[in-house]
Amino acid sequence: MATSYNKESNEEPTSKRPDNTAFKQQRLPAWQPILTAGTVLPAFFVIAIIFIPLGIGLLITSNNIREKEGQVYMYYGLSNFYQNHRRYVKSRDDNQLYGVSSSLKDPSSECAPYANNGTMPYAPCGAIANSMFNDTLKLYFQGKNVSVPLLKTGIAWWTDKNVKFQNPSPNDDLKKAFAGTQKPLYWSKPVYELDPTDLTNNGFINEDFIVWMRTAALPTFRKLYRRVNISEPYFSNGLPAGNYVLHVEYNYPVKSFNGKKRMILSTTSWMGGKNPFLGIAYITVGSVCFVLGVVLFIIHQKYGKRSSEFIDSVNQ
């Protein structure tokens, strides 16, 4: 026995009134902060007091980075080399570099025209890999007639070396792993011969290769090349004063694009390399805050009493 729903008598006339909830009636409990000179002035002075000494500290630290003392790093630098050009940046196959064997034999089309030479695929493919820096730099200390011991590992990002770049299987026989591919066009030796003495630094996980593949942001850049081995005698404190000779095995052509090459020796501090920018920026911002604080303070003193009403008029 169905009871019919009697619409006429049971329902009120439909109403457009929104529900009486806190949200719909805009009655949510709220915090209503007011930004007045009274709150802002102390904040500005606090910022100034913190920033200016911090900036001075940073500046001193940066200037104190004594080149060639402590752990010394050797970089190579290039200028007028646009590693950040769009076509260049795209020209790589990260899956191939991750060791995926299907990508090894069949690299992505982004690598074109450095994907294959018509018959065999390039390993690694792409313009970035193709243009890898291949000069060899050696440093000789004339005082003791020794070559400065340089480490070629520990120069790439940990995440790159251990995750992003992986050799295709089998890992212990790279020549077999890379069978069916060929070396990039501009390279003189194939990828599995980048460092035959060290299996953890050969193939795709070669650190020089990894460092090169991390594209730089600007056309003038430097990349980490070697670290001075401080566990060797004579060099445990960095590079001693004296005459040095740089020996360059010149393979990398830069004249065609008006590029320049350079070698840089530097150390780092707890805040990275030598860069006075941060210290100067902190001092600047701190001083600006201080000046603004003073200006606001003067204005506040002159007109403060008369304006307190206006503060109350907002939101009460």
Partner 1 sequence: MTPQFLFQFYCGFSHQTLYDSAYLMIYNLCFTSLPILAYGLLEQYQSMSTLQNFPILYRRISKNALLAWRPFIGWTLLGLYHAFIFFFGSLLLLGDSIAARYYGQVFGHWMLGVLVSTNLVFTVNLKLAFDTRYWTWMNHFVIWGTLIFYVIFSLFYGGFHWPFLHDQALHGVFLSLLSSLQVWFLVPLILIACLVPDVVRQVLAKQFFPGKTQLWVVAWRRQQRGERTPLAPSTHRHHKLVTSLAGITASSESTV
Interaction residues for partner 1, span 183-222 (CB under 8 A): 211, 214-222
Whole-number Å distance between alpha carbons of 157 and 280: 29
Q: Which is nearer to partner 1, 17 or 306 (CB)?
A: 306
Is residue 63 close enough to count as binding partner 1 by CB under 8 A?
no
53's tokens: 């000494």
Of 60, 120, 163, 246, the residue at the interface with partner 1 (CB under 8 A) is 163
CA atoms within 13 A on the CB side of 121: 21
Residue partners of 274: CB distance under 8 A and separation at least 6 = 62, 63, 65, 266
Of the candidate spans 5-13, 71-79, 183-191, 195-203, the one that interacts with partner 1 by CB under 8 A turns out to be: 71-79
6, 11, 20, 31: residue in contact with partner 1 (rule CB under 8 A) = 31
In contact, 252 and 134? CB cutoff 8 Å: yes
Q: Which amino acid is at 178?
A: F
* Ranges within 232-271 binding partner 1 (CB under 8 A): 266, 268, 270-271
Piece of 137-145, 151-159, 189-197, 235-243 that binds partner 1 (CB under 8 A): 151-159
State the Cα–Cα distance between residues 282 and 163, nearest whole angstrom.
36
Q: Cβ(95)–Cβ(107) under 8 Å?
A: no
User: 8: part of which helix (H) or strand (E)?
Assistant: helix 7-10
DSSP code at position 247: E
Residues 78-137 that bind partner 1 (CB under 8 A): 82-87, 89-90, 94-95, 98, 108, 110
Among 159, 243, 256, 258, binds partner 1 (CB under 8 A): 159
- State the DSSP H helix or E strand holding residue 177, giving kind and residue range, or none if neither: helix 174-177
Among 141, 171, 296, 297, binds partner 1 (CB under 8 A): 296
- Smallest distance from partner 1 to CB 15, Å: 21
Identify which of residues 3 and 21 has a Cβ nearer to partner 1 in the complex: 21
Question: Residues binding partner 1: what is the number (CB under 8 A)?
Answer: 85
